[in-house]
Amino acid sequence: MQILQNKKIVLGITGGIAAYKTPELVRRLKDQGADVRVVMTEGAKAFITPLTLQAVSANSVSDSLLDTQAELAMGHIELAKWADLILIAPATADTIARISHGMANDLLTTICLATTAPIAIAPAMNQQMWHAQVTQENITRLSNRQVNIFGPGSGAQACGDIGLGRMLDVSELVELTCQFFSENITRHTQKEQQPDQQILIGQHWVITAGPTREAIDPVRYISNHSSGKMGYAIAEAALQAGAKVTLISGPVTISPPKNCDLIQVDSAQNMHKKALNYSKNATVFVACAAVADYRMANIAEQKIKKSADTMQLNLIKNPDIVADVAALTNKPFTVGFAAETQDIEHYALGKLQRKNLDMIAANNVAAPGQGFNSENNALTVFYADGKYEIPLASKQNVAQQLVSLIQQTYLKQVN
């Protein structure tokens, strides 16, 4: 079955080294039945020729906003209206910045501004550029506008660095594109079958998100790579479904959803106190935060000076937030998260039973293109009746599916 049969895709190619992969990307999209038209920036032509892309796409390649022949038919408007999806791969930091700020100074950015079609970008840049605050702000801005973020992946880069920033492999981009269209069809069908989406009216959801910080001294702390994006996406999805939401958040750089009750904390002990307090009257508790397992036995009152070549920290275990919520007399429906790097199912099922949870969502944070600091995620959800796979998708989409699954399982439990 050709999942992309009759789908019209504008492939935007920008000036990154990963542009050399795009002829293969065009071929694989066409193998799935798509009609592909290529738009190139000037920078892209330094890495791959228009003639090559014309040959593999069987369509002329567009590369100029001021093409007099194309403008006879208002070429950029025609492409903007023609597309079912605009996929930009590779998407450089510069292109991401210009699209996020609504610029239209070349053909590709003009099409993005003029289209009503969905847009997906596959970031490709140096790992430091990807982690730069301004890049993350631009990504957040695009994500809030419902732009799909495919990747980036992690690994060795052309510059010699290792880390996040690589464009996803062609097979992954094709899979995500197919998944995007499949989910849209499913979402449209569900909307027709279930016109009332306010399924959580009258419920109170308490959600933890982000990392915790455990102070070592007044300057340093122990933390982790959690961005808070998954927890914030769950909060947004629950709000959209009609729930009252209390979001207990560790330190993050993203804005909370409108209309949620935001409780900001730093340490695991503080999050523990707030979670127990607010969960006493909650319908559902979702422990999505990446809580530090240990904290300093004694926090130094002054900055610890660098002296010896090694330093030993005396750590003690933090309270188990989700287990203590699940142990409440009138506990809410309690959902845990298991961020693992190996033996995902084994560790997730162990936590589900040991902590008396109603459900646990497990993800492989070592897999490229998902988990910490990514715009995408994939979950395997375990509960009493079995398990449910949520495939790789944007965290917003994953959150919507998870919220729906929680509600269905919760209703079975109370009825």
Upper half-sphere CA count for residue 296 (Cβ side, 13 Å)? 17
Distance CA 374, CA 66 (A): 36
Chain centre distance of CA 230: 7
Please, which residues have CB within 8 angstroms of residue 306's CB and are 6 or more apart in sequence? none
Q: Where are the domains of the chain?
A: 8-185, 196-414
User: In whole angstroms, how far apart are CA 63 and each of 50, 55, 236, 353?
Assistant: 8, 15, 39, 58
pLDDT of residue 21: 94
Please, which residues have CB within 8 angstroms of residue 262's CB and are 6 or more apart in sequence? 247, 249, 256
159 is catalytic: yes
Domain over 196-414 is classified CATH 3.40.50.10300: yes
- DSSP of 177-207: HHHHHHHHHHHHHHHHH-----TTTT-EEEE
User: In whole angstroms, how far apart are CA 120 and each of 8, 176, 180, 188, 213?
Assistant: 14, 10, 9, 19, 34
Distance CA 202, CA 283 (A): 9
Q: Smallest Cα–Cα separation from 304: which of 218, 376, 387?
A: 218
Between 395-414 and 229-240, two packed helices, what is the crossing angle to 10 degrees?
Answer: 60
Q: Which CATH number applies to 8-185?
A: 3.40.50.1950
Among residues 112, 159, 178, 288, which one is catalytic? Answer: 159
Distance CA 62, CA 79 (A): 10
Q: Global pTM?
A: 0.55
pLDDT in tens, the chain (415 residues): 567 888 999 999 999 999 999 999 999 999 999 999 999 999 999 999 999 999 999 998 988 776 655 544 445 578 888 899 999 999 999 999 999 999 988 899 999 998 889 999 999 998 888 888 898 888 888 888 888 888 888 777 676 777 778 899 999 899 888 888 876 654 443 443 343 467 899 999 999 999 999 999 999 999 988 889 999 999 999 999 999 999 999 999 888 888 899 999 999 999 999 999 999 999 999 999 999 999 999 999 999 998 888 989 999 999 999 999 999 999 999 999 988 777 788 888 999 999 999 999 998 876 766 666 678 888 889 998 788 888 888 888 899 999 999 998 998 887 6
**Phi-psi map region of 282: left, alpha, beta (phi>0 left; psi -120 to 50 alpha):** beta
Whether the domain at 8-185 and the domain at 196-414 fall into the same CATH topology: yes
The angle formed by the CA atoms of residues 220, 222 and 225, to the nearest 5 degrees, is 120
